[in-house]
Structure 1
Amino acid sequence: MVENFVGSWKMITSENFDEYMKALGVGFATRQVGNRTKPNLIVGVDGDGWICMKTQSAFKNTEIKFRLNEAFEETTADDRKTTTIVTLENGKLVQKQSWDGKETAIEREMIDGKLIATCKMGNVVAVRTYEREKTR
């Protein structure tokens, strides 16, 4: 099922992301840059069950490697140090990050050939939509 997410994705829309970043505690300057950035997401899987997710933008590049259902340490694009676990639930890749007694979830799912990332922090929800990059 993870194979559906494999590939290179370009963000085409972002809704309510500033409010989401505020809920995370991201400072004003970083939010300004984050709101202007349209990152690419690259998802890969190797033969040993490791999943790699790279986020690339003019602002910052991040990469996480993980196995489903196994907690790992992550440093986010806004420099939070989190304990993260990614699960597969009803066809969605669900990434839960926890730090300092707080928790956020990013749910990624495929809808009509697009990758939809729904970011939730408390009652704040942001939705970022990606389309598969065309191969040359």
Structure 2
Amino acid sequence: MVEQFVGKWTLTSSENFDDYMKAIGVSFATRQMGNMAKPDLLISVDDGVISMKSESTFKTTEIKFKLNEEFEETTADGRKTKTIVTLDNGKLVQLQSWDGKKTTLEREIQGGKLTAKCVMDDVVAVRTYEKAA
């Protein structure tokens, strides 16, 4: 099921992302960069290990993980989280926990596009990616 996510995806739209970054505690300066960045998302699978790499002119981050196994992640904004990724009804659901807080990133493929729904409490951001040729 993860295979449908494999490939290179380019960010084409981002809704409410600044409010989401505010909700998770990202500083103003970092949010400015985050809002300007148009990252490419590279997803691959090698022997059961999933790699998700986000590349932009500002920063490149990569996480490698196995489904349903908790791991430590340092996020692009510097948070150190305990993260677990599950596959739920065709969605890749990433749950990050840190300092008593939790946020969820739900990625799914709809109509050939990858959407990433970022949820923190009642704040929801949606980022849409299109597959690069």
Q: TM-score range by the shorter chain?
A: over 0.9
TM superposition shift of 1:30 = 0.4
For 1:75 and 1:121, locate their aligned partners in 2 and report how far apart those are by CA, in whole Å: 18
What is the aligned partner in structure 1 of residue 48 from structure 2?
A: 49
Amino acid in the other structure paired with 2:18: D
For 1:29 and 1:90, locate their aligned partners in 2 and report how far apart those are by CA, in whole Å: 37
For 1:102 and 1:58, locate their aligned partners in 2 and report how far apart those are by CA, in whole Å: 29
Secondary structure at the counterpart of residue 78 of structure 1: coil
Secondary structure at the counterpart of residue 57 of structure 2: coil
What is the aligned partner in structure 2 of residue 95 from structure 1?
A: 94
Structure 2 unmatched runs, 5+: none
What is the aligned partner in structure 2 of residue 24 from structure 1?
A: 24
For 1:51 and 1:36, locate their aligned partners in 2 and report how far apart those are by CA, in whole Å: 27
Deviations 1:75-117 (A, max 9, x none): 0000000000000000000000000000000000000000000
Q: Are residue 39 (structure 1) and residue 39 (structure 2) matched?
A: yes
For 1:50 and 1:100, locate their aligned partners in 2 and report how far apart those are by CA, in whole Å: 27
Amino acid in the other structure paired with 1:13: S
What is the aligned partner in structure 2 of residue 122 from structure 1?
A: 121
- The runs of at least 4 consecutive aligned structure 1 residues that moved more than 6 Å come to none
For the aligned residue pairs, the C-alpha RMSD in angstroms reads: 0.4
Structure 1 unmatched runs, 5+: none
| Matched residue count | 133
Amino acid in the other structure paired with 1:97: Q
| TM-score (normalised: structure 2) | 0.99
For 1:40 and 1:75, locate their aligned partners in 2 and report how far apart those are by CA, in whole Å: 18
